[in-house]
Amino acid sequence: MRLYHGSSKGFTAHIGLCLTDDSAAAWEYAVRSGRPGTLTTVELSTFGLKIAKGRDFGEGSGDACGDTPAEIKRLRRRGVDVVEYMDEAPGGMRHRTWRLLSRKALASLAAA
């Protein structure tokens, strides 16, 4: 699956990394600080990964989306490698997000 990451700090794969299938939304993250940004394109192989649906942006209930260390820990105890949810970019664009929560998920990334 082709996914994108936008950042003003460059790209480093790490637990908690967020990716989207919407390059325009990723670009909003890349330029939000006003500094030059980078848009990184990756391929994520989901074969063998446990993907859970997290709560969407603005929802106050349901499963977490892994945006705090406690939520990541709770999801990882359930064996979740990736949490998928709808998010909102800085400019208000809604987009689907995949947050990587395990080393197994990070190992499933490849440069595109």
pLDDT bin (cut points 50, 70, 90) of residue 21 is very high
pLDDT for the residue numbered 59:
56
pLDDT bin (cut points 50, 70, 90) of residue 36 is confident
The residue that leads in pLDDT, 97 or 91, is: 97
What is the residue extent of each domain of the chain?
Answer: 2-111
pLDDT bin (cut points 50, 70, 90) of residue 62 is very low
DSSP string, the chain: -EEEEEESS-----TT-EEES-HHHHHHHHHTTSS--EEEEEEE--TT--EEE-PPTT--SSS--S-SHHHHHHHHHTT-SEEEEEEE-TTS-EEEEEEE-SHHHHHTEEE-
> pTM (2 decimals)?
0.88
Mean pLDDT of 78-86: 94
